[in-house]
Amino acid sequence: MTDTIVILDFGSQYTQLIARRVRELRVYCELLPHDASRAEIERLQPRGIILSGGPASVYDRGAPQLPEFLFDLQVPILGICYGMQLLAQQLGGRVAGSPRREYGHAKVWVDRAEGLLADLPDHLHVWMSHGDQVTALPDGFITLAHSDTCPFAAVADPARKIYALQFHPEVAHTPRGLHVLRNFLISVCGCAGDWTPAAFIASTREQIRARVGAERVLCALSGGVDSTVAASLVGSAIGEQLVCVFVDHGMLRQDEARAVVELFQQRLGLEIVAVDARAQFLEKLRGVSDPEAKRKIIGAEFIRVFEQTAGALAHSKPIRFLAQGTLYPDVIESRAPERRAAARIKTHHNVGGLPEDLAFELIEPLRYLFKDEVRAVGLELGLPDQVVYRQPFPGPGLAVRILGEVTQDDLDTLRAADAIVREEIENAGLSREVWQYFAILTPLKTVGVMGDGRTYESVVAVRAVTSADGMTADWARLPHDVLARISSRIINTVRGVNRVVYDITSKPPGTIEWE
């Protein structure tokens, strides 16, 4: 079985970064809510457990606590920030408010270059983010590092393999943080560090074959990176038992439906059934403006179309399984808030948007991968670059890029504007530098002048971001001449638009999509 690390999430803004860093070190990990059951954790047979930071104080009423059974699992534990303070409090130490809060860059001095801090210099530049700190260690603990204001910046109980850090090793502002995490994963937990795309593909194929047997699988195919890699992976495991269904829900980009069908039939050799459901989806969205409602309606309607298609394809035997390209960020952002110390961001159509009476059993081979890991798997499967490096596109499509009710006229307007954004960025040779780029049609109207006449027309926003995995993103610094061409072309050629604005919001605090 693959070496696995469990990360318990206490609500830190950096929790997903911990997972990313562990994966970078070629160790598989899963994020679980802080109140995960013993059965949930033991199912993964973890080699170690990492406790994330969090916004609470350990002594606050109702603050998240460590599971009582955690120390009975007898695996190494690493607590980070709030996780460190929980360990100290529950093992008999003391935690109090810091005399001086630390947020930002700090220097820590290494007292013992062993365990987590083995093979490191006598001082480290780190990132601190805390208002509380440990003031007295539990019995059995030793100090590994300190700072001028934090006497216990890194501590350990070597006998029980419990380690804790007041600083954040997962962020880029801690330059040697990856080394610290490697010491925990490899030296302390004994992980092999051999989780690679090839190893993932081999084990996932075995799991799919064992689960599917002789049954047929319907694959929800959008033509995007996620569903394409999922279809290719499932197809490589079960061959002709797979049939891909491409649903044109009317909210695709310009000429996308035709291009997707051609790609899969001619380049990838997969069996594909194309379904025109444009009128069906548009009718379901009539009068709906709330973004969460739109996502859930689209998710449910996709399933209904798949059920109808499966019935037509079933012949004498029903199709039992539905495969889709759900990714780990979809799962993380869609989790119900009552199961986590952090808030649900938004419902993804293929997670929280699924109907309760789903007629299929789901196969989601990419469910625990980040986007960059999916791309690596796609390359390992031999998919062409034009597929693997295609920019992400949300399942609900242009429906969540039209703010408010979705109408056919608005779809036509946005499609035309979006095509210009994509064409200009690609013509400028920036498509591999920018993670995602698109247009948004806002409900705002502004006064303008065209020729000698007054106009009162719509505002289009342009969004372009850089990112590695979609969990965090920064706005792309597009050249001014590219932005000027985009604005000029949209205003001059797209009817009903007289103003173009550029979004310079990072994620967080914003999300990549506007809805």
Q: Show which residues are catalytic.
A: 81, 168, 170
Query: How many angstroms separate the Cα of 432 from the Cα of each of 106, 213, 369, 428?
Result: 35, 40, 21, 11
Strands 154-157 and 242-248: unpaired
What is the C-alpha to C-alpha distance for residues 488 and 491, in angstroms, rounded to an integer?
5
Which tokens sit at 201?
């593909």
Closest C-alpha among 352, 490, 513, 506 to residue 424: 490
CA 236 to centroid of chain Cα atoms = 25
**Residues 336-355, buried b or exposed e (16+ Cβ, 10 A)?**
eeeebbbebebbbbbbbbbe
Phi, psi values for residue 321, rounded to 5°: -115, 145
What element of type H or E holds 302? helix 291-314
Structural Rg of the chain based on CA atoms: 25
Are 430 and 478 contacting, i.e. CB atoms less than 8 angstroms apart? yes
What is the C-alpha to C-alpha distance for residues 405 and 208, in angstroms, rounded to an integer?
40
What is the C-alpha to C-alpha distance for residues 54 and 81, in angstroms, rounded to an integer?
8
Helix (H, G, I), strand (E, B) or coil at 439: strand
